[in-house]
Amino acid sequence: MKKVKDLKWNERITVKDLVKQMESCGFQATELKQAAEVIIKMKKNGAKIYLTFTSNMATSGLRGLFAQIIEMGLIDIVVTGVGAIEEDIMRAKGEEFVIGNFGVDDVELHEKGVNRVGNLFVTNESYCNFEDLMRPMLKKLYQEKNRWNVSDMLKKFGEELEDENSILYQAAKKNVPVFVPGITDGALGFHLFLFQQEKPDFVVDVINDFKKLTYYTTHDDKKGVIALGGGIAKHQALLACILNGGMDYAVYMTTDQEFAGSMSGASTREAKSWGKIKDDSDAATVIGDVSITFPLMMCYVLEILNEEK
């Protein structure tokens, strides 16, 4: 039986040392260390790893870490929201987001053409510049063919970018498919709608893309998921694996609780009732802000995997 040990700082402490100490600290610190070990097992046992995250996380600086772990070969499949795609492209094309504060006057921000995501500010001008980018990119797609799966379309977008910190760029480079089931739920969806008014035979096929996601793994494959937040991204990855036996490994990181019945708060225990996660799966849940918990966990994971080659 493990016992609580006091956490101590020293002048040579590394992230790996800190997370090791957190295992004996209790509360969510212990859960974070457990989650890190589950991810290490995923990789060592050759699991196909799904990374799911909500759009707001790509608005933050986590974007670059997502791109890096894709580049390093840790992730096999990405499922996210359309806002992550928009803001990844914006950043790749030189747009800058500002760190403000949570208590700002939102009416004043609106009058200034500024949109708030928590304490992050994105201007209307950035969205206008995004619109200017989309039209030529969609025209180029249409010239090649008129019907696209979402993930194939996003790979083409990634090939147009030249930013090492871009999720789409690294995913295209490493041939990691990016699935966005709610592709119309944002500015990109609006531009797809407008383009289809001009080219009525232009189709973005979400059903065929779901087929591609469902067939990406088989019953015999080991499968693991790192689900950051919830919503449609988390659910789509889990749903796609029901037909092939469910996930062998699962790490959930969220600020939500299960009492409201939301996907963000749905526990790994609840997922077992649906067959989304196997009864004997290795699973861990960390409650807390992903902008804090995920970098700590991943730095530990990458240090261990790097040491062991």
Rounded mean pLDDT for each run of 10 residues along the chain, 309 residues in total: 94 95 96 98 97 97 98 98 97 96 97 97 96 94 98 98 97 98 96 96 97 94 97 95 94 93 90 94 96 98 93
- Please state, in angstroms and as integers, the Cα–Cα distance from residue 99 to each residue in 61, 104, 121, 180, 237, following that order: 11, 11, 6, 26, 31
Tell me the pTM: 0.96
Strands (DSSP E) found in 131-287: 147-149, 178-179, 203-205, 223-228, 247-254, 277-287
**Non-local CB neighbours of 65 within 8 Å, separated by 6+ positions:** 294, 295, 298
Within 10 angstroms of residue 26's Cβ, the number of other Cβ atoms is: 14
Q: Determine the pLDDT at residue 243.
A: 86
Q: Determine the pLDDT at residue 1.
A: 85
Q: Determine the pLDDT at residue 2.
A: 86
Ordered alpha helix ranges (H), 164-230: 167-174, 187-198, 206-214
Instruction: With beta carbons less than 8 A apart as the criterion, state whether 67 and 164 touch.
Output: yes
Q: What is the 3-state secondary structure (H, E, C) of 119-142?
A: CEEEEHHHHHHHHHHHHHHHHHHH
253 by DSSP, 3-state: which? Answer: strand
Q: Which of 220, 256, 251 is nearest to 238 (CA)?
A: 251
**Non-local CB neighbours of 258 within 8 Å, separated by 6+ positions:** 265, 266, 267, 270
- If you search the block for the tokens 């991810």, which residue do you land on? 39
Q: Determine the pLDDT at residue 309.
A: 81
Q: Determine the pLDDT at residue 286.
A: 97
Instruction: With beta carbons less than 8 A apart as the criterion, state whether 228 and 54 touch.
Output: yes
Query: Active-site residues: which are they?
Result: 276
Domains in the chain, please, with CATH? 15-307 (3.40.910.10)
**Non-local CB neighbours of 26 within 8 Å, separated by 6+ positions:** 4
